[in-house]
Amino acid sequence: MEYMSPDSIQPSAPGKILCCECGILIDPNQANMCVSCLRTKVDISEGIPKQSVLYFCKGCDRYLVPPDKWVVATLESKELLTLCLKKLKGLNAVRLVDAGFVWTEPHSKRIKLKLTIQKEVNGGAVLQQIFVVDFIVNGQFCEDCQRVEAKDYWTALVQVRQKTTHRKTFFYLEQLILKYKAHEKTVSIRTRHGGLDFFYASEGPARKMVDFVTSVIPCKVEKSKTLISHDTHSNTYHYKYTFSLDIVPVCKDDIVCLPPKLAHSLGGMKQICVVQRVNSEVHLIEPSTAQFVAINGPQYWRYPFTPLCHPKAMAEYTVMDVNILAYEDQQHFSGQGRTSRKHAVADVWVVKSEELGLTDATIHTRSHLGLFLHPGDAVLGFNVEASNVNNTHFEAMNKDQLSDVLIIKKVFPDRAARRRRRRWRLKHMDMEEEGNTDKNTDDNNRDYEEFLDDLEEDPLTREKINIYKDTAKMSSAVLTDGEDEEDTPHITLEEMLDDLQIEEPMQE
């Protein structure tokens, strides 16, 4: 018999065993059973629900994350997959190998998830299993949408007010809000006497609206809050917040009298000025010197001033002669502020339009509109001598240095025909009218038409708002840059935007 050393003995291959259940040959394992029999005896997905419920808000397209958090998750996104996995209890007892969506119809209100899990069973045997979990999507309004649907519910209120007799400033503010979509999170918008009210479901969006308005128009902000309820057990308070915004009470083409201290601080500017425009600052120009300045909100509220007259107190005058002054003939002094290069100071002789042909006496005045005025033009002016102004700073002035008539702006002829030729329009916010009488409607329509006229006459103002083509009028006539034969201002096609209109498909 041949002797063999232990090192020369080769280990034999493991033998096969019979499954203790079905008797087929299998590789040895801890359970001594084949995979099929092991699956029939052990279910590793036991304890994991095969059906669950997701709550979806139709108002804001968000899903509920218990207990009270709502998140945005699109179909078959990783956010929705995370939300579904968190809803399944028992996943921490197994090893998750793979997870993915099974396609379903978007309107079926069903979301199916295919899971692959592994778990060690019967003393070391690792079993893998694939199964599908069905999620039922139930509709439920979130708290924010419930408050919106309630209409009358609000937590924060933004009151925008201006102490003027017309609403042109609010028409301008409306266009800025629409352009930058600052009103998207409002519960409702209501018109009030002298302003607008914006209602919000929470304080955060209201603060954003306050920041937006203060960035585009000079205004003063005051905040207040009222305690609505108090839970002594959880120590929580429920407040209602009110933000009051007071816009500067001056508008385009107003005549103002500056306080002496403010006029002196603005480079020795004369007190009587004309408001060119109001945007993020109040832009003023002095008629006799064409000196201009821009005043921000803090400057205005430190030295406030108001218009000298109501717009209805201005009258129309006809220009008889214009004489542009040379630079040497104008008033200059050391420390004088900037003068406008777009304007020219001129001596102008005018006659009241209703007295034209009845008198030969002309009124002399000095205006900054020398480049724009010609004999025969109509202008809008304010008769200082014949007016009764209740203003402390104006009464303290030396009236001998003032012209009898202050020219505000040029009036273009045939305004009604000019309005009919318009091929553009503006959008409007969805607002609830309050106290909508016939008189208020007529006043608003007149103010709105004047605002549209200002847009045509002032290119700098209309650069900041969106102007859309009026397709109804475009189809009747084609607007070209040379359509107006008269030298009247108009908005060109290049400045207009195409409005997006989604038409419903026709049913066969």
Say if CB 155 and CB 161 are below 8 A apart. no
Residues 6+ apart with CB under 8 A from 22: 34, 36, 37
Enter the DSSP assignment of 502: -
Enter the DSSP assignment of 333: -
Helix and strand tally (H, E) in the chain?
A: 12, 24
Q: d(Cα 24, Cα 16) in Å, to the nearest integer?
A: 10
Residue 394 vs residues 74, 299, 304, 387, 449: alpha-carbon distances, Å: 65, 20, 14, 12, 31
Residue 71 neighbours by CB distance under 10 Å:
12
Question: What are the residue ranges spanned by the domains of the chain?
Answer: 44-139, 143-247, 255-390+399-411, 417-479
Q: d(Cα 56, Cα 62) in Å, to the nearest integer?
A: 6
Task: List beta partners, residue 150.
Answer: none
Residue with tokens 């649907």: 149
Enter the DSSP assignment of 59: T
Q: What is the pLDDT along the chain (508 residues), one digit of tens a residue?
A: 455 555 555 554 467 877 877 878 877 776 677 777 777 667 788 888 889 999 999 888 899 988 888 998 988 889 999 899 888 888 888 888 899 999 888 888 899 999 898 887 765 667 788 889 999 999 888 877 776 676 557 889 999 999 988 888 899 999 999 999 999 889 889 998 889 999 998 899 999 999 999 999 999 999 999 987 777 777 888 889 999 999 999 998 899 999 999 998 888 888 999 999 998 999 999 998 899 999 999 999 999 999 988 777 889 999 999 999 987 777 777 778 888 888 999 999 999 998 888 888 899 999 999 999 999 999 999 988 777 888 888 888 887 778 889 999 998 887 778 788 888 889 999 888 765 555 567 778 888 888 888 888 888 888 888 999 888 776 655 444 444 445 678 888 888 887 665 444 444 3
Enter the DSSP assignment of 166: S
